[in-house]
Amino acid sequence: MRSTRALAAVLLLGTCLAACSTGLGERPVAGALPTAVERWLGASPSLIAHRGGSGDWPEGTAYAYDQAAAWSPDLALEAPVWLTADGVWVVCHDQRTGGVFDADLDVPTSTWEQLSALRTTDGGLPMARLVDVLAAHPDRVWVLDDKPNADVAGFLDLLDASGGPARFVVKNFHTADGLAGLARERGYTTWGYWYPADMADFAATEGAWDLIALAWDAPAADFATALATGKPVFGHIVSTPEQARTALDEGATGLMVSGVTAVVPG
């Protein structure tokens, strides 16, 4: 069922498809087929489901990614990940699980067996393993946020084995230039994000990142600074059509969306 807010989103983003062209779709070399990442960046705007649509479905679960993928064929999927004590990459935003799940465990010092027994307080769903959700949605662009940077080589090895730079964008806070450098060495597109309080560091840090993300309500001057780099600029984290419009009006070429059903045409 489509809500009236979702219908409004269709009109909102349909207008942007005509008015907000970035030209990124013309980047591939003549004769070469564009990669999934290049096709996604060629959309206007480029859209990502934040944690699989954290405003709509329980985050950290395969269910959320299944629902987001079913909602729109053009939607990239974002996942924050941690490495467990026994070397399993799991989908979880916080280091501790208590904010989403029914027990408060520390992810890096817990085993997958312990974490797999948890259930979300909303819906009673299990935590997702990264390899499982990647395998379930092999046609999607994934924006992956390695929260601990505990085993960067192992993280990138997993991505290499699962589709590589054609499929994945490596995301982190703008200060993680070491991660960005290693990812770029393997050919990955990198995504860094800033908040208004961080912009004093922008000139010194933006060079490590191919894609730039700012708060959807960042000052116009911050958007102007980011856009002056010539790189794609994303507004985050958008939950309503009004927030989407604010970021797009400032020049954002893409959106990180938590409210998928409200913002993304279905």
Q: What is the mean pLDDT of each successive set of 10 residues along the chain, which is 266 residues long?
A: 42 46 40 92 98 98 99 98 98 98 99 99 99 98 96 98 98 98 99 98 98 99 99 99 99 99 96
Sorted by sequence, the CB contacts under 8 Å of residue 159 that are 6+ apart come out as 144, 167, 168, 170, 188
Per-residue pLDDT, 13: 55
Evaluate whether 136 touches 66 at the Cβ level (below 8 Å): yes
Q: Please, what are the domains in the chain?
A: 4-257 (3.20.20.190)
pTM above 0.85, yes or no: yes
